[in-house]
Structure 1
Amino acid sequence: MGLLSVAEECSTLQELELQKCSDNVLRGIAACTNLQILKLVGSVDGFYNSVVSDIGLTILAQGCKRLVKLELCGCEGSFDGIKAIGKCCQMLEELTFCDHRMDDGWLAALSYCENLKTLKFQSCKRIDSNLGLEEYLGSCPSLERLHLQKCQLRDKKSAAAMFSVCRAAREIIIHDCWGLDNNIFSFAIVCRRVKMLYLEGCSLLTAESLESVIHSWNELQSLRVVSCKNIKDSEVSPALATLVTTLQDLTWRPDTKSLLPSSLVGIGIGNKGGKFFKRT
C-alpha cells in the first residue's frame, strides 16, 4: 500500500530502487506507469531473504511497460517471468542480473527482449544449469554489449548457451570471472560481430586461445587485455602480432612482466623481416 501511494502521488516517477523486495511489495508497482529505471533487490546473503519470483516479475512487466533499464539482484523467477518482461517491456534496453536465483531454463526467455542492447551478469554463481532444447534458445537480435563481472563460468553448456544468445554483441567485457578457461572462452567464437573485447583478471586464458577466437572476428577494432597472467608475450604468434597492428585501439598489460607497448601500430611487428617480442 505504501508503494502504491507513492506511485499514485508521484505520477512522473522515473527511477526507483527497492531493497528487501518481495512479490507482495511489487503489487503496488503497477501504478508506476512512467518508471524507466528500476533496481530490485530480493535476497542478500547474510542480510535478508526476500522472494521475487515469476509472480512479482509478471506484475512488474504488466505495470511498468516503459522500463528502459532493469536490475534484478538476488531475484528468483524462471522462463515465464523473464518472458513476461521481454514481451511487455518493449522499450527495455539494459538488463542486469546480480547474484540471481533463477530456475533452470530461464536463459531462453532473453530472446523475447527484442530491443535489449546491454546484458550484464554480476556476481552470479551460475548462468543457467539446465537449458532445455537448444532449438528453443534463440538470441537477442539488438544486443550490443555483454558484460560479465565476478561470475562463475565453469559450466560449458551454460557458457555456450550464453554466448549463443548474445551472438549479436558488438562489445564483450569479461572482468574477474572464475572458471573462464580456454575451452569456455572458445564458445565466444560465435559472436562474429564483436568490435571491442575487454579482458581483465582472466588468469586461465592463454595467447593461443585469444588468437583462435579473435581471428574469426573480422570487425574487431579494440582489444584490451589486463591482468591475464597466462597470456604471455613469448607465446604471441606472428599472426596475432600482425592482427593487433590493424586495430584502432590496443591496451596490452596481461602481467607486470609484459614488454609490449600499448600501441603497436607502425612498428612492423609481424611483417617480414620485422622484429618480434623477445625478453631481455
Structure 2
Amino acid sequence: MWANLALSPLHVAAGTSVGNGALLGLTRLVSLKLAELRITDGDCAGIAALTRLTELDLRNSRVGDAGVQGLSRLTSLQCLDLTWTQASSPPALSSLTKLNMDNCKVGGEVALRVLRSTRFPKLHAVHMSMVQVDETGRELLNAICSDSASTLDSFMLPSASISTVRFIGRAVALRSLDLTGVKITDSSWGTLAMLVSLQELELRGTNASNEVIKSLQDLVQLQRLSLRQTRINDGALPLLQSLQGGLTSLDLSDNDIQGEPALQQAWGNLQLLESLQLLKTKVTDAGAHSLKQLGASLRELHIGSTDLSNACFLRACEKLQILHLDGCRKLTAPVFQSGVRHLQELQALTVSDCPFISKAAVLEVQKDLPLRYMSCDDEVLFSAKKTEPIWKSGAALTDRLQELAPYDERCRYSTDELLSARYSEFVPQLESSGPLAAVLRELELVSTQ
C-alpha cells in the first residue's frame, strides 16, 4: 500500500519519531524534510533507499559522515541541507544543485575521499556560513568553484576561518556572493575582479579597505553592495563613484565616513541608487548636503550620525519612501520636521536615539504625509496595517529563517513568534538589506483588510 502512495513533499514535524520502517514504503517520495529530528547515521540507510528523492533536509539532526556518505545512492538528489549536522563533507553526488552546510566543520579525511572520487558540475547555490574549514576543506571549496564554474550562481561563505578568496575567482557565473566576517590575510581581494557576472556582494564585517573597491571597478552588473563595518573611510567615496556598474543599493554603515569628499564630485554612476545606509557613521551636515545629488533616485535612506544637525538635504530627496534616523543626537525637532514635510511620497518613518525629537514631534508630521507606518524609539506611533498578517507559506518562512539564522539573530525567532508579530511594527525597523527583511519581502507578507 505504501509503495503506491505519491507523497511529495513529506515534511515531518520536529519531535516526531522516524525510523527506517516508516520510510521504506515511500519509494515514490521526491522531497523529504526531517529538520530538527533525532535522525542518526543508522536512519540514513532507510533514507538512501528512497532513490527518487530530489530534495532532502536534515538540518539540526544527529547525522554524521557515515550516514551522509551513505546517501551517495540518491543519484537524483539535487537539494541537500546538512546545516548544524556533524557532517564534514557532502556525499559523493555529482547531481547536487544546492548544498547547505552552515555551521559544519568542513574538511578532514572524508572530504579528501570525496574530492578524489567526485566532481560537482551542477551546483547553483552553496551556503556554508559559520563553517570551520581546514586545508582539505579549502581544497573542497576550490573544487566546487572549479567544477561548477559555469553554473554556480549563489555562494554564501560567511566564516572567520576563511583567509583567502582566491578560489572564488573560478566561479565566473556567480551573481550573489556573501563573505560576511571573512578576514583575508593575502592579496586575494583582487580576485573579485574576475566575477564579471556579480550582482550582489556582501562584505559586512570583513577587513576590506578602500583598495578592495578598485577590484570592483569593472563589474558592470553589480547592483547591491554592502561595506558595512569594514575598514573603508572617505577615501572610498571617489572610488565608489567611479564604479562602472549601476548600484541600486549601498550600505556604508558603521564606518569612518563623513561624506564631505563627495561635495567636490558628482555621485557619478551612483545616480541609480535607490537604497543608501549610513548608520553609525560620522556624516557631517556638509556631507549630508551632497546627498541632494541622489534626490531623483533615492527611495530608502537609513542615516545615523552624532555630527548631523541639519536635515535640509531631505528636501531634495522628494522620492523617499522609507526614512530611518538613528543616533542623530544633534538633530532638533523643528529641523527634523522642516526636512521631512517635503517628503510627499514617504510611507515609513522611524526615529531612534534622537533625544531632541520627541514622539509628539514625530506624530506632528503625520498629517502632512501619506505615511503608513511611524515609530519613535521602538514604539509604534501609527500603522495603517491590521494586526494579524497572512503568510503565503508558513513552511516556507520556517525554511528561510533556518537558512538565514547564522546571518541575523532575529531569524532565530520561531515561526509562531513571527506569525503573531505585527508586520507593520516589525519590518520597517529592519535594515532594508537585512536577511530577515528580505525573507519577509520574499514571502510577500501582507495584512488582513
Aligned to 2:216, the other structure's residue is in SS state helix
2:267/2:294 contact within 8 Å kept: no
1:166/1:191 contact within 8 Å kept: yes
Displacement after TM superposition at 1:84 (Å)? 4.0
Matching of residues 1-280 of structure 1 within 5 Å? 2=139, 3-11=141-149, 12-13=151-152, 14-20=154-160, 21-22=162-163, 25-41=164-180, 50-51=184-185, 56-61=188-193, 63-72=194-203, 73-78=205-210, 81-88=212-219, 90-102=220-232, 104-111=234-241, 112=243, 114-124=245-255, 126-127=256-257, 131=261, 134-135=264-265, 137-149=267-279, 151-161=280-290, 163=291, 166-167=294-295, 168-174=297-303, 177-179=304-306, 181-183=308-310, 185-200=311-326, 202-226=328-352, 228-232=354-358, 240=365, 242-244=367-369, 247-254=370-377, 261-262=381-382
Displacement after TM superposition at 1:32 (Å)? 0.8
State the distance in 1 between where 2:287 and 2:185 align: 24
State the distance in 1 between where 2:361 and 2:262 align: 39
State the distance in 2 between where 1:199 and 1:155 align: 14
Unaligned 5+ segments in structure 1 are 44-48, 265-280
State the distance in 2 between where 1:201 and 1:229 align: 8
2:213/2:239 contact within 8 Å kept: yes
1:108/1:136 contact within 8 Å kept: no
State the distance in 1 between where 2:349 and 2:262 align: 34
2:177/2:202 contact within 8 Å kept: yes
Instruction: Supply the RMSD in Å over aligned alpha carbons.
Output: 3.6
Q: Cα 1:76–1:7, aligned 2, differ >3 Å: closer, same or farther?
A: same
Q: Cα 1:105–1:178, aligned 2, differ >3 Å: closer, same or farther?
A: closer
Task: Give the counterpart letter for 1:173 in structure 2.
Answer: H
TM-score under structure 1 length normalisation: 0.68
Could you tell me which residue of structure 2 aligns to residue 278 of structure 1? none
Aligned to 1:116, the other structure's residue is in SS state coil
Q: Cα 1:182–1:110, aligned 2, differ >3 Å: closer, same or farther?
A: same
Aligned residue pair count: 240
**Residue-by-residue CA offset, 1:199-226 (whole Å, 9 max, x unaligned):** 3554543321222222333433333335
Unaligned 5+ segments in structure 2 are 1-137, 385-449
**Residue-by-residue CA offset, 1:114-157 (whole Å, 9 max, x unaligned):** 43221123432x126773771354351222112344x1325445
State the distance in 2 between where 1:42 and 1:83 align: 20
1:208/1:236 contact within 8 Å kept: no
Q: Cα 1:165–1:51, aligned 2, differ >3 Å: closer, same or farther?
A: farther
**Residue-by-residue CA offset, 1:234-266 (whole Å, 9 max, x unaligned):** 55797x45413xx1413143587xxx95169xx
Q: Which protein has the larger Cα radius of gyration, Structure 1 or Structure 2?
A: 2
State the distance in 2 between where 1:132 and 1:252 align: 31
Aligned to 1:262, the other structure's residue is in SS state strand
Q: Cα 1:214–1:136, aligned 2, differ >3 Å: closer, same or farther?
A: closer
2:223/2:248 contact within 8 Å kept: yes
Aligned to 1:85, the other structure's residue is in SS state coil
Displacement after TM superposition at 1:18 (Å)? 5.0
Q: Cα 1:234–1:166, aligned 2, differ >3 Å: closer, same or farther?
A: same
1:105/1:130 contact within 8 Å kept: no
2:285/2:309 contact within 8 Å kept: no
Aligned to 1:251, the other structure's residue is in SS state strand
TM-score under structure 2 length normalisation: 0.45
State the distance in 2 between where 1:198 and 1:133 align: 23
Task: Give the counterpart letter for 1:211 in structure 2.
Answer: Q
Task: Give the counterpart letter for 1:169 in structure 2.
Answer: L
Task: Give the counterpart letter for 1:131 in structure 2.
Answer: P
Q: Cα 1:119–1:104, aligned 2, differ >3 Å: closer, same or farther?
A: closer
